[in-house]
A and B are shown apart, each in its own frame.
Chain A
Amino acid sequence: MRFYNNLTISQKQIVWAWIFLALPVLFYVVIRFYPTANAFVLSFQEWNLLGDRKYVGLENYAKLFSDPVFWKVFKNTFLYLILGTPVSLVLSFIIAYHLDKVRFMHGTIRALYFLPFMTSAVAMAWVWRWFYQPVPIGVFNNFLASFGIGQIEFLSSTTNALPSVLACAVWAGLGFQVIIFMAGLRAIPQSYYEAARIDGVSTWTVLSEITIPLLKPTIVFLVVFSSIGFLRIFDQVFNMTTNNPGGPLNSTKPLVLLIYDTAFNGFNMGYAAAQTVVLFTILLVVSLIQLRLLKDS
């Protein structure tokens, strides 16, 4: 105690800072940094959990890039991204833009759009899976049948399955995006709109010259946030296609599901680690490109 009392104020601050930080720094080193390094190292090894780890150089990566399933999965992952992000962004903007102008029952309507965000992806994947079943089980097909429209194979067709899974994911995330857009809209000073009204500017011009440019930080955030979400899609796919995860014929399988399969069904730890490194690289590149593009324009 005497030692502590002899310290200067700034030295005391240093002592306190490290008392506060000791445990967390240990946590980040052991639970975040060491595993990251481990994943990189593992990606150059071959290991099935039982024998020894064996260095194989770039063999895992070579195997990955020559694997047709990987390229199929790669394509699927980007399909989720390039279909999901714009659709959810445009939809949520339209909803937020109009909801911002509505006063009557504003809170209730906002809650209706936000509720799905509070649900668990697994639970809702099962609800949607039920909706997609053929007649007489599925809600959608029953509904269509009541108008005399033929059945649609939602989850069992290789062309329809991916969009069907995606619809559930878009639905679940829409509420969050609406809320963030509305907060962005609220932050635009009313005086800009008043000035535009005095000048007699049309609604479209107001939208394209004032609203959207001033929303850019919100848009950047949501584009990055939602593309990362779609690139990492797993819960919905796994639960909507459990009898054959990623099926039919790998048509819905995203990268994360491939990683899960390789590691925990195939016990190919090194190969799976190489896949995670690829995922990491994709996420990094996509978010850097988007930040760059949206900041420059």
Chain B
Amino acid sequence: MASQDIAVKPFTDALFSGSSRNSRRNMGQFIRWALLFGGGILMIMPIVFMVSTSLKFPFEVYNLNLIPEEPTIENYTYVLEDGRFYRWFVNSLVISIITTASAVFFDALVGYALCKFKFPGRYLVFIAILSTLMIPTEMLVIPWYLMSKSFGWLDTYWGIMFPGVMTAFGTFLMKQFFETVPDDFLEAARIDGLNEFQIWWQVAMPLVRPALAALAIFVFLGNWTAFIWPLIVTNSVEMYTLPVGLSSFGDEVDVAWELIMTGAAISTLPTLVVFLIFQRFIIRGVVMAGLKG
């Protein structure tokens, strides 16, 4: 990307320059910028409204002012003291962290094995894993439900997590990235007397760290927002994840929109804050994962 000085120039030119042809082009550039910026503001309006309403007293909810006249965190204390949201938050956090760690570990392990070991059946294993990408989750939820029921996994953390502990997409992504690790590095480590597991963990893994981060973001976000499977596999309020809890909560307090918006904010703000901190990094990760897929 161009440096910031150059970046600002067309804009300042658009505002201050006089000459006719240039000014027409700069005017066009300014209109383009203004439309894009306006569109961007429109895009975040639902989020802004959500946050603003979660900070309002009930009597002010129907007032469309974006800045509450008397901001309050009462909705948050109310919702969190109720205990359920706190519990759902913890459930979602535990589940998302464990599945992310597990999926990144196993996807990288399998991706590496398929990329760097020569063994009979390698192609078959790769194609078999890739083919599972064609199977929609919706087709599997019924058998998974029956399986969970007979194994006593219904309404447990393990029941929510087991389908996601490995992902075919991640395996594919990691295999692509391990292709970029030169075999010479691995050979050198082999000569130094490391075993294959150590070579993978200590030599190859650090070299694909950006890909690991991209995958982790994808898996975490996917689990944090997952809805249909947690909805099916949980049945007690204590085991709900945030989305499932919010869905049931919304039904129950259909009139108290400020409380629903507070619940929505609690399930959304953590990912937004993480995004705002690691913006550049996350966008690069999304591009990497998106284009490799």
Q: Do A and B bind each other?
A: yes
**A residues in contact (CB < 8 Å) with B:** 10, 12-14, 16-21, 23-25, 27-28, 31-36, 38-39, 42, 49, 95, 98-99, 101-124, 126-131, 136-137, 139, 142-143, 171, 174-176, 179-180, 183-184, 218, 221, 225, 232, 234-235, 238-239, 242-243, 256, 259-260, 263-264, 269, 272-273, 276-277, 279-280, 283-284, 287
Chain B residues in the interface with A (C-beta under 8 A): 1-2, 6-11, 29, 32-33, 35-37, 39-41, 43-44, 46-47, 49-50, 53, 61-62, 64, 106, 109-110, 112-113, 117-120, 122, 125, 128-129, 132, 134-136, 138-147, 149, 162-163, 165-166, 168, 171, 196-197, 200, 221, 224-225, 227-228, 232, 242-244, 246-247, 250-251, 254, 257, 260-261, 263-265, 267-268, 271-272, 275-276, 279-280, 282-283, 286-287, 290-291, 293
**Contact among A14, A122, A272 with B247 in the assembled complex (CB-CB below 8 Å):** A122
Contact: B120 with A14, CB < 8 Å?
yes
- Beta-carbon contact of B32 and A101 below 8 Å: yes
Q: Can you list 17 pairs linking A and B with CB atoms under 8 Å apart?
A: A13-B196, A20-B110, A20-B112, A36-B135, A39-B140, A102-B29, A103-B7, A106-B1, A111-B276, A115-B275, A116-B47, A127-B264, A179-B287, A180-B291, A183-B290, A239-B247, A283-B136
Q: How far is the CA of A118 from the CA of B140 in the complex (A)?
A: 26
A-B contacts counted at CB < 8 A amount to: 276
- B62 smallest CB distance to A (angstroms): 5
Least distance between A168 CB and chain B CB atoms (Å): 8
Report the minimal beta-carbon distance from A184 to chain B, rounded to whole angstroms. Answer: 8
Residue in A113, A124, A142 whose beta carbon sits within 8 Å of that of B264 in the complex: A124
> In the complex the two chains form, is B134's CB within 8 Å of A116's CB?
no
Cα(A124)–Cα(B163), bound, Å: 25
* A262 nearest CB neighbor, chain B only: B142
Does the CB pair B119–A13 fall under 8 Å? yes
B188 to chain A, nearest CB (A): 15
Contact: A221 with B293, CB < 8 Å? yes
Rounded to whole angstroms, the CA-CA distance of A49 and B128 in the bound complex is 31
Whether the Cβ atoms of B142 and A273 lie closer than 8 Å is yes
Contact A259 B7 (CB under 8 A): no
Given A20-B110, A234-B227, are A39 and B286 neighbors across the interface (CB < 8 Å)? no
Given contacts A27-B165, A115-B272, A123-B243, contact A276 B250 (CB under 8 A): no
Q: CB within 8 A of B40: which of A27, A103, A109, A123? A: A109
B175 to chain A, nearest CB (A): 12
| Least CB distance, A40 to chain B, in whole angstroms | 9
In the complex, which residue of chain A has the Cβ closest to the Cβ of B291? A183
Q: How far is the CA of A277 from the CA of B224 in the complex (A)?
A: 27
Are the CB atoms of A122 and B225 closer together than 8 Å? yes
| Residue of chain A at shortest CB distance from B110 | A24
- Inter-chain contact B43/A17, CB cutoff 8 Å: no
**A127 engages B261 (CB within 8 Å):** yes
Q: How far is the CB of B2 from chain A (nearest CB, A)?
A: 6
Q: Does B118 lie within 8 Å of A13, measured CB to CB? A: yes
B32, A104: Cβ atoms closer than 8 Å: no
Q: Quick one: which of B49, B129, B139, B267 contacts A36, CB cutoff 8 A?
A: B139
Nearest A residue to B288 via CB reads: A183
- A143 contacts which chain B residues (CB < 8 A)? 64
Main secondary structure of the interface of A (DSSP, over half): helix
Q: Which B residue's beta carbon lies closest to that of A111?
A: B279
9 smallest beta-carbon distances between A and B, as pairs: A112-B40, A35-B143, A104-B11, A123-B264, A20-B113, A103-B7, A17-B117, A122-B243, A120-B225
Report chain B residues within 8 Å CB of A24.
106, 109-110, 129, 166, 171
Closest to B227 in A: A235
18 new A-B contacts at CB < 8 Å, known A112-B40, A142-B62: A13-B196, A20-B113, A39-B139, A42-B143, A112-B44, A120-B225, A120-B242, A122-B267, A127-B47, A128-B46, A137-B62, A180-B286, A180-B291, A256-B138, A263-B141, A279-B136, A280-B135, A280-B139
Q: Are A120 and B10 in contact (CB under 8 A)?
A: no
A224 and B140 CA atoms in complex are apart in Å by: 21
> How far, in whole Å, are A127 and B260 apart by their CA atoms in the complex?
8
Nearest A-chain residue to B257, judged by Cβ: A130
Q: How far is the CB of B140 from chain A (nearest CB, A)?
A: 5
Whether the Cβ atoms of B109 and A32 lie closer than 8 Å is no
Minimum distance in angstroms from B151 CB to a CB of chain A: 11
Q: Could you tell me the distance between the alpha carbons of A284 and B287 in the complex, rounded to whole angstroms?
A: 25
A276 touches B113 (CB 8 A): no
Q: A38 contacts B146, CB within 8 Å?
A: yes
CB-CB under 8 A from A184, the residues of chain B are: 291
Docked-complex contact B250 and A284, CB < 8 angstroms: no
Contacts of B132 in A (CB 8 A): 28, 32-33, 36
Q: Would you call A35 and B268 a contact (CB within 8 A)?
A: no
Contact A31 B242 (CB under 8 A): no
Partner of A16, one of B61, B117, B290: B117
Chain B residues with CB under 8 A of A235: 227-228, 243
In the complex, residue of chain A having the shortest beta-carbon distance to the beta carbon of B165: A27
B224 and A104 contacting across the interface, CB-CB below 8 Å: no
B227:A21 contact, CB within 8 angstroms:
no
Q: Which of A18, A21, A179, A287 contacts B290 (CB 8 A)?
A: A179
Which residues in B have their C-beta under 8 angstroms from that of A28? 128-129, 132, 166, 168
**Which residues of the partner chain A approach B271 to less than 8 Å between Cβ atoms?**
118-120
Partner of A123, one of B135, B246, B254: B246
